[in-house]
Amino acid sequence: MNSVKVATAKMLAKTVNGVAVDDLFNTIDAIKATPAIAKFKFRIRNQWVDAGQNCSTADTFYGAGQEQSRPKPFVLEADEPPVLLGKDSGANPVEHLLHALASCLTTSMVYHAAARGIHIEEVESSLEGDIDLHGFLALDKNVRNGYQGIRVNFKIKADVPDEKLQEVGQLGPGYSPVFESLTNGVPVSVTAERL
C-alpha cells in the first residue's frame, strides 16, 4: 500500500463516531495507572447585565493532572422571554439546563458506542420539561420551584438490529454526568460577599 492508503486505513481503524477510540482506551489505561488524573474541576464565571439578562464565560478547568485553558473563552448568554419579563436576548436558564442534558446524553451515547465499536450515523433528540410558576413565585408551597419532570426522545440512525438500537439509546442515561447529576441531585453550596 502507498502512504496515503496506509494513513487512511490507520485513521479508519482508530476513529469511530468521530471519537479517537485508541486515545479513549489510552486514557482509561492512564487513569488505571494514575487514578488522580481522573479528577476534574469545571468552572464558569457569570456576570449580571440587567433584569433576566446575564452572561457566563467558560475558559479554564482542571483535569488530567493540570490546569487547562482555552485560547479564547466561550461566552454563554441567558435572558428571559417577554412573558417572563425579559428582553429575549438569549435562551433562558431552564432551556440551558435542557441543552446541558441533551448534549451530555448525546456525547455519552456516542463515546460509549464508539468504545463498543458501534457506528452511529445520525442522532437527534427533543426534550420537554414541565415547570409550574406557583413554585418560583412562592404561591404554593406544595409546588416545586424546578422541573416536575423532563421527557427526552432520541432518534438514532445506525445499522444495528432494534434490540441493539435500544441498548444504544440507554448508553446516555447509563453514563451521562449531567443526567446522573440531574436525576440524583448534587450538593450545591452558595456563599455571598460584598462586591
SS3 assignment, position 62: strand
Q: Which of 7, 13, 14, 42 binds its own copies (CB under 8 A)?
A: 42
Among 6, 7, 11, 51, the residue binding its own copies under the rule CB under 8 A is 51
With respect to its own copies, which residue has the nearer C-beta, 1 or 195? 195
Residue 185, amino acid: G
Which 14-33 positions form the footprint of its own copies (CB under 8 A)?
17-20, 23-24, 27-28, 31-32
| Size of site (CB under 8 A) for its own copies | 126
Residues 72-111 that bind its own copies (CB under 8 A): 74, 76, 78, 80-81, 83-85, 88, 90-108, 110-111
* Other beta carbons within 10 Å of 52: 19
**Helix-helix angle 3-14:21-33, to 10 degrees:** 60
Distances (CA, A) of 96 to 99, 131, 132, 160, 162: 5, 14, 18, 32, 32
* Separation CA 33–CA 35 (nearest Å): 6
186 binds its own copies (CB under 8 A): yes
Among 135, 141, 142, 163, binds its own copies (CB under 8 A): 135
In whole angstroms, how close is the CB of 36 to its own copies at the nearest point? 10
Across 57-78, b (16+ Cβ under 10 Å) vs e yields: beeeeeeeeeeeeeeeeeebeb
10 touches its own copies by CB under 8 A: no
Nearest distance from residue 11's CB to its own copies, in Å?
Answer: 13
Q: Is 164 in the site for its own copies (CB under 8 A)?
A: no
Task: Give the separation between CA 32 and CA 51, rounded to whole angstroms.
Answer: 48
- The mark string for 141-160 relative to its own copies (x by CB under 8 A, - otherwise) is ---xxxxxxxxxxxxxx---
Check binding of 188 to its own copies (CB under 8 A).
yes
